[in-house]
Amino acid sequence: MTRRRRLLALCVASLSCVLSVRVHGQVTSQRLTAATSEPQNWLTYSGDYQSHRFSLLDQITPANVKNLKLQWVYQSPVAGNWQTTPLVVDGMMYITQRPNDVIALDAVTGRAFWIYRYTPNPNRIVCCGANNRGVAILGDTLFMGTLDANLIAIDAKSGRQLWKTEVATTESGYSITHAPLVIKDKVIVGVGGGEYGIRGFIAAYNVDTGKEAWRFYTIPGPGEKGHETWEACTPKSDASCDPEAWKHGGGSIWMTGSYDPQLNLTYWGVGNVGPDYAGAQRPGDNLYTASVVALDADKGTLRWHYQFTPHDVYDYDSVQVPVLVDNWGRTGINALVWANRNGNYYALDRATGKFLLGRPFVKVNWMSEFDERGRPIQTPQPPGQPTYPGNQGGTNWYSPSFSPRTNLFYVSAWEDYASLYGPSPVEYKEGRNFTGGGPRPYAPVPGAPGLARAPINTWTEAAGHGAVIALDVATGEQKWKFNMTDVTDSGILTTASHLLFTGGREGYFQALDARTGTLLWKTNLGSAINSGPMSYRVGNRQYVATVSGLSLFVFALEE
């Protein structure tokens, strides 16, 4: 072969390589950062780093949404509450199903290309079901956290495992249920297990090797800033006071964080303290539980934190998805806004953590007001009296949405809902339940069956109801409300054409006018919707996808 021919061959080879890469849609870090510039795709759990769960696609409109038709259904063979949000990359859809399967589908037809099956350690300890909420992607690699606290990299073309890293010890109660977040050359996950006395952390791993790059403990150890909020036991302390409470102080991570590329900060919500209810065992504020932490994305160092519920005794996890809003209220401040499980809507300066606003979006009686630094003045209710919001919260992990078009923040809420709390001391035993008592529903019929709902809503109006609440992002003022009869665990999607999609326990998938809350379209999918809807486009067609029960439903307008 002549030198010229060799060059030509090399050129052809490299060209085909480049073409191949483009056809298969290599997801670069730049594409993740600029995700909103390719609205046909859904590249991260919440759609973009700002976690707006907002789509710029506008083919489906308030005028034509009534013409939506079911395009295809994927039925999972695995029973149980299904909470995944699909990713879509250039016509390929990636979903997870229980316990830790990943499936690559044709986003137009629903036909599968491959399935990756992972069997978690049978000795795993996971609270509240074998949930997995999705994957992350970079290049041609997918990343999934597992119920037995491993992080796995999977070839997006073949479904073959590339590497597996043990993040934590599953037998001690650690797990991973949320979709990872990729930032530059690192994949970031946190650990669940807040009901088992874990010491929570967020950690970053090299995308190519799985090697740990940094780790931030959500429960600071001796000598670390914040450790002083795990106060020492004194002779006046309760007999149950544990001088080493921080060692099993909880602070789980079970929802995906957000990222500001300009500040290079990644924001994560931290779960409940351990034990959940027995506060006397752990005097102090118990940082960084029930908080948001802002971490340097390269080093994992803490830039700032804000604690929503100091010394939480209500299980008010602060794992909600952090939503980043630029030029908040036209103040020039780039904010982080948050509807918390504790019933308040917050705005914080996301560069400094400065408290800007706190305002209830549902009935709240565990606190009365905020001091000038944004610390809540707590008002514990007497024994036997209801605490609002109840144990499941004013909202919970359900993805909210922010529409830059309406400047409204949308949250799935539980209204008129309260719990009675009965703390009791609990001894820490590795891998054992470590809640320290338990709440019970504040309901008018003692001795009757409990609060299980759907498909028969036996508690109706007596034990609260669900709602979509639209808040002015700058003031927290309620702009409109869409009431449901049953409660809702559904996330919310908004679109550029002023549509809002959401579900609920009743099994309806409904489209509202994002400006007014007016119902525009609904269909009964037959089972509770427990995840967040998302939207994508293939060719010239916009699709909307949601999970209901054991099935993924995909809708589009009739052609």
Partner 1 sequence: MQKMIDLAVLVVVVATAGSMAVAAQQAAQLHDSQYPDVDIAHGASLYTARCSVCHGAQGDGIGGVNLRSGKYRNAITDRDLAGFIRAGSQAAGMPPFALDDADMAGIIAYLRNMNSFDAATVKTGNVARGRAVFEGKGACTKCHRVGRLGSHVAPNLTDIGSVRSAGSLQRSLLEPTSQMMPINRPVRLVTKDGTVINGRRLNEDTYSIQVMDDRERLHSLRKDDVREFTIMKTSPMPSYKDALTSEELSDLLGYLLSLKGL
| CA gap 421, 134 in Å, rounded | 33
Q: Among the candidate windows 4-12, 78-86, 137-145, 178-186, which touches partner 1 by CB under 8 A?
A: 78-86
SS3 category, 462: helix
Q: Is 490 a binder of partner 1 (CB under 8 A)?
A: no
**Interatomic CA distance for residues 47 and 79, integer angstroms:** 27
Residues 6 or more apart whose CB falls under 8 angstroms from that of 263 comprise 334, 350, 351
> Of the candidates 455, 475, 477, 526, which one interacts with partner 1 according to CB under 8 A?
455
Instruction: By CB under 8 A, tell whether 332 contacts partner 1.
Output: no
CA angle 78, 530, 452 (to 5 degrees): 90
Is residue 315 part of the annotated active site? The answer reads yes
Token digits of residue 323: 């939503």
CB of 377 vs partner 1, minimal distance in Å: 30
Alpha-carbon distance of 507 to 461, in angstroms, equals: 18
Residue by residue, DSSP assigns 104-143 as: EEETTT--EEEEE-----TT---TTSS-----EEEBTEEE
Distance CA 505, CA 548 (A): 9
Q: How far apart are CA 367 and CA 262, in angstroms?
A: 35
CB of 390 vs partner 1, minimal distance in Å: 13
Between strands 492-495 and 54-55, the pairing is parallel
* Candidate ranges 7-15, 53-61, 239-247, 339-347; the one touching partner 1 (CB under 8 A): 239-247
Q: Does 189 bind partner 1 (CB under 8 A)?
A: no
Q: Considering the rule CB under 8 A, would residue 458 count as an interface residue with partner 1?
A: yes
Binding partner 1 (rule: CB under 8 A), the pick from 382, 449, 558, 559 is 449
Q: Is 444 in the site for partner 1 (CB under 8 A)?
A: yes
Question: Interface with partner 1 by CB under 8 A: which range of 3-11, 105-113, 396-404, 453-461?
Answer: 453-461
> Is residue 341 close enough to count as binding partner 1 by CB under 8 A?
no
Min separation Cβ 285 and partner 1, Å = 22
- Does 126 sit near partner 1 (CB under 8 A)? yes
Distances (CA, A) of 6 to 2, 86, 404, 471: 6, 44, 53, 64
φ, ψ dihedrals at 17, nearest 5°:
-65, -45
Q: Which of 208, 224, 228, 427 binds partner 1 (CB under 8 A)?
A: 427
- Residue 132 or 497: the one with the smaller Cβ distance to partner 1 is 132
CB of 274 to partner 1, least distance (A): 12
Q: Which listed residue (285, 315, 486, 489) is catalytic? A: 315
The residue length of the chain stands at 559
- Is 124 a residue that touches partner 1 (CB under 8 A)? yes
Q: Kind and range of the H or E element at 3?
A: helix 3-23
Q: How far apart are CA 274 and CA 218, in angstroms?
A: 12
Residue count at the site for partner 1 (CB under 8 A)? Answer: 59
> What is the contact surface with partner 1 in residues (CB under 8 A)?
78-81, 98-99, 122-131, 195, 233, 239, 241, 243, 424, 426-427, 432-433, 435, 437-438, 440-441, 443-452, 454-463, 483-486, 504, 506, 508, 522
Task: List, by residue number, the catalytic residues.
Answer: 315
